[in-house]
Structure 1
Amino acid sequence: MRSAQSEHPGRFVLVESDDALTQDQLAAAVGLDEPRLRVSDGRYEVPRLTRTHAEEPEPERTWDPDGTVLITGGSGVLAGIAARHLVTERGVRHLLLLSRSAPDEALIGELGELGARVETAACDVSDPAALTQVLAGVSPEHPLTAVIHTAGVVDDGVVESLTVQRLETVLRPKADGAGILHELTRNTDLAAFVMYSSAAGRHGRWGAR
C-alpha cells in the first residue's frame, strides 16, 4: 500500500476499523486527505510522531563464542555486513552461511582472517526438508545459538506490473523462509532470532531507497 500511494499520490487511502463502515464514514475518511487513518468508536485517528521517554532496554544476552550462528542469504551484501559485525563486535567464532548461490569466497577469507571459522551450505530456506538436513548437520560441539535471516529475492516493479507469480517469488524466501526457520528452531535456546525486511513496508518503495 505504501508503494501504491507513492506511485499514485492522492489515489489510495488506507482505512482501518474494527467494525464495518458505512459509505458516509468512508467518504468522510477519504475527505480528510490523510494517507492512513483509523476509525474507532466514531473517532477518526491519524498517525503522528510524538516525543516520548525511552524505556530502559532489556539487557542483551551474551553471544556464546563456541556456538554457531546461522545466516541466510549468505552470499549477499547484508549477510556480509551482519557476519563482520558478529565477528568483530559480538565475538562470534563459528558461522554457517546458507545461500542458493555460490559462496562468497572473498567474504569467507576475510572472516577467517578475523578469527572466525566459516562453513557454507547450498540451501533454499523455503525448502523445509533441505533446511532440516542443514540444521541436523550442525556440530554438537558448536550448537546453533542464533539465526540471522537476510535471504531475499528482488523482483521490483510498479504496482500495475505485479502478478501472483512475482509476489510468490519474493515472499517465498523472505516470509515462508522465516516461518520455516521459526518452526525448526522454536525449541532451540537461541540468543537471537533476527529477521531483515524492507523499509518499503513503512515508507513506500521510493522512500525506502
Structure 2
Amino acid sequence: MTAEVIQAVLATGEPQLALRDGALLSLRLVRATEEAPAATPRLDPDATVLVTGGTGALGRQVARHPVTEHGVRHLLLTSRRGLDASGAGAFRDELVALGAAVTVATCDAADREPLAEVLAGVPDEHPLGAVIHVAGVTDDGVVESLTPDRLAAALRPKADAAWNLHLATREHELAAFNPLLVLRRDHR
C-alpha cells in the first residue's frame, strides 16, 4: 500500500474500510427498495417455512409475513415453550384462519438432537423450503458487566442455534436461510 493510499484512507474518516481489487469499500446499511427484487427470496407456497422463536412477540410478527406476503401455506413454528407460550394457541389459530397449516413444536434450536427430530417430522409433500431464525434472550448490560456465563446465555439461542440450523438443513434445497436478514447460502 502506498503512502498516497494510506493518506486517502485516513482522510475518509471511516472507522473501517476494506481494499478489494483496488477499490476502497465501507460498510453501509441501505434501505431496501422496490428496485431490488433479488433481495427478496421467492418462497414456494407448498414448502414448509420454519420459524424458530415463532411463538414469541417478534417471532409472531415475522411468522405472519411468509403467509400474508408470500402465500406460504405450511409453517413450522418452534420455541422453547411451544404451545405453552402465552397466546401461542391463539396465534396458531390466527395463521390457520389466514389459510396456513401450522405446526407448533417445543424445541430449543440450540439443542441439536431435538432440532433434528423436529425437522425429521417435516412431511415429504411439503419439504423444508426456508428457515427464519428469530432467537432472543436478552441480558442487557454494559460490556464491563457481562460475565462469560451471561454472555453464553445470551448467545446460545442465537449463535449455537444458528449453527445447528445450518448443520441440520445444509442438505435441503432452501430458498432462504433467515430471510429476515436476507441471507442466501450455497449448500454445495
Task: Indicate the TM-score class for this superposition, using the shorter chain for normalisation.
Answer: 0.7 to 0.9
Find the counterpart in structure 1 of residue 48 from structure 2. Answer: 68
Percent pairwise identity: 52
Q: CA distance change for structure 1 residues 56 and 148 in 2, over 3 Å: closer, same or farther?
A: closer
Q: How does 1:100-119 map to 2 (within 5 A)?
A: 100-101=80-81, 102-103=84-85, 104-119=88-103
> Does structure 1 residue 77 correspond to structure 2 residue 57?
yes
Q: Which consecutive residues of structure 1, in runs of 5 or more, have no partner in the other structure? A: 1-28, 198-209
Question: Which of 126, 129, 136 pairs up with 1:152?
Answer: 136
Give the Cα–Cα distance (whole angstroms) in 1 for the partners of residues 25 and 73 of structure 2: 47
Question: Which of 63, 83, 92 pairs up with 2:72?
Answer: 92
> Does structure 1 residue 141 correspond to structure 2 residue 125?
yes
Q: CA distance change for structure 1 residues 182 and 117 in 2, over 3 Å: closer, same or farther?
A: same
8 A contact 2:40–2:179 mirrored in 1: no
Find the counterpart in structure 2 of residue 8 from structure 1. Answer: none
Instruction: Tell which deviates more after alignment, 188-197 or 138-147.
Output: 188-197
Give the Cα–Cα distance (whole angstroms) in 2 for the partners of residues 143 and 77 of structure 1: 26
Aligned length: 161
Find the counterpart in structure 1 of residue 5 from structure 2. Answer: none
Alignment-mate amino acid for residue 15 of structure 2: R
Q: CA distance change for structure 1 residues 66 and 170 in 2, over 3 Å: closer, same or farther?
A: same
8 A contact 1:111–1:118 mirrored in 2: yes
8 A contact 1:36–1:46 mirrored in 2: no
| Larger Cα-atom Rg | 1
Q: CA distance change for structure 1 residues 36 and 143 in 2, over 3 Å: closer, same or farther?
A: same
Q: CA distance change for structure 1 residues 48 and 123 in 2, over 3 Å: closer, same or farther?
A: closer
Q: What are the superposed Cα offsets for residues 5-55 of structure 1, whole Å, 9 maximum, x if unpaired?
A: xxxxxxxxxxxxxxxxxxxxxxxx9xx9x7935698xxxx99586x9xx98
Q: Which consecutive residues of structure 2, in runs of 5 or more, have no partner in the other structure? A: 1-9, 182-188
Provide the TM-score with structure 2 as the length reference. 0.74
> Does structure 1 residue 190 correspond to structure 2 residue 178?
no
Q: What are the superposed Cα offsets for residues 91-127 of structure 1, whole Å, 9 maximum, x if unpaired?
A: 0011000000224112111111111111011111111
Q: How does 1:39-50 map to 2 (within 5 A)?
A: none
